[in-house]
Amino acid sequence: MHAGLQLSEAKKKLRDKSSYLGYAEAVAEELGDVLWYLAAVCRRAGFALYEVAAEASGKTLDPGLTFHALQPEHFPLFKDPTNATEQSLLTLAGEVGLLVHHHVGQGHVGKDKLRAQLVRVAHGLIVAATEAGVTLEGAAYKNLVKINDRWPEKREYPQAFDEIDDPEERLPRAMAIDIYERTVRGREYVFQKSSGVYVGDRLTDNAIVEDDYRFHDVFHYAYAAVLGWSPVMRALLRLKRKSRPEVDETQDGARAILIEEGVTSWIFGQAQKLEFFGGIKRGGLPLDMLKHVRQFVAGYESAQCPLWMWEDAILQGYDAFRFLQDRRRAQVQIDFKRRRLHVKELP
């Protein structure tokens, strides 16, 4: 009984620690966002961030002022949340709200008034970060990583997930698929053919209200073209990585296929609300949506893809989808070398 009690208490402590680490991560992310916003407003208003930070912290004015210098030399990291922690976060939220009100809601605001509000936000940020046991340096770094994940200065594609595999187990680097509707016994079906060979089964919308989901395989082709990932295509083309049994089971198996189909269906539901992303340019998809997609594929290869790659795959897939909606037939071409899914007229 005593050993069981000790084990139970140990598990509770582990859960509590895990829960708090998640809380600390969330706070660090929020503080990083506030820091980014503060820096952006300072830049647009013509104030140097170090000047605002120095005034907020009582430090000597110095262009070389660091985030590390704004906080005490020693303070506990990942400390348990207290009433003081919550109060400091609420105070910071209030100051940010006033800044947004002054900066956005009132149009022209005097520079002295704006600077004073920026100093209060900076002070609140320093206090909140210290109370929460979060370093501003760490919060800033996390924010830079997040920004680069979504809006990178330079887009560099990672190596294909199956680059080390045998050629016969790799997703196609180039492939053309003809997609078209045909009436069979009074009902419309979508057929797909590549090099004269049918790909997959004939498709309908599988819905009471028709929504053209019958063309949804273009999304899988886009994943393959841009991300180099598609368990669905591996199954259709018999390209599962049998020479690596663990990868075959965990990355190419039935569960991975269901995950891909699930995320595709979920994105489709979001796309219906946004006119199937018509008119949305690169960088314009909702960040929360892309973050949900990554959570959806957690544990699978594609979770390693940065959000900007996911956005490219989604937008290219929906470009092809809207083309098919309009013309009802097209040829799509996978061009992995250029990470593109091309779409063109099919005679």
Specify if 71 maps to a domain. yes
Residue 13 reports pLDDT greater than 50: no
DSSP alpha helices (H): ranges in 198-299? 217-222, 231-237, 245-250, 254-273, 287-296
Same domain for 137 and 181? no
Query: Could you tell me which residues are beta bridge partners of residue 175?
Result: 334
CA 6 to the chain's CA centroid: 40
Same domain for 212 and 332? yes
The domain tally of the chain equals 2
46 SS3 class:
coil
pLDDT at 4: 45
Taking the whole predicted model, whether its pTM rises above 0.95 is answered as no
Average the pLDDT over 11-33 and give the result.
Answer: 66
Average the pLDDT over 46-65 and give the result.
Answer: 95
Q: At what angle do helices 2-45 and 83-100 cross, to 10 degrees?
A: 20
Specify if 157 maps to a domain. no
Specify if 158 maps to a domain. no
Specify if 162 maps to a domain. no
Domain containing 273: what range?
A: 167-344
Specify if 69 maps to a domain. yes
Share of the chain above pLDDT 70, in %: 91
Question: From CA 56, how far away is CA 62, in angstroms rounded?
Answer: 13
| Backbone φ, ψ for residue 183 (5° rounding) | -85, 125
pLDDT at 77: 81
Specify if 34 maps to a domain. yes
Same domain for 124 and 220? no
CA proximity to 141, closest of 73, 66, 251: 66
Measured CA to CA in angstroms, residue 9 lies from 2, 16, 21, 22 at distances of 11, 10, 18, 20
Average the pLDDT over 276-301 and give the result.
Answer: 96
pLDDT in tens, 214-225: 999 999 999 999
Strands (E), the chain: 174-184, 187-194, 197-198, 329-335, 340-344
Same domain for 134 and 192? no
pLDDT in tens, 73-131: 888 886 677 888 889 999 999 999 998 887 665 556 688 889 999 999 999 999 999 99
Which of 123, 150, 177 finishes a domain?
A: 150
Q: Is the dihedral of CA 274, 279, 282, 283 positive or negative?
A: negative
Same domain for 134 and 238? no
Instruction: Give the DSSP H/E element, type plus range, for residue 159.
Output: none
pLDDT at 141: 93
pLDDT at 7: 43
Specify if 159 maps to a domain. no
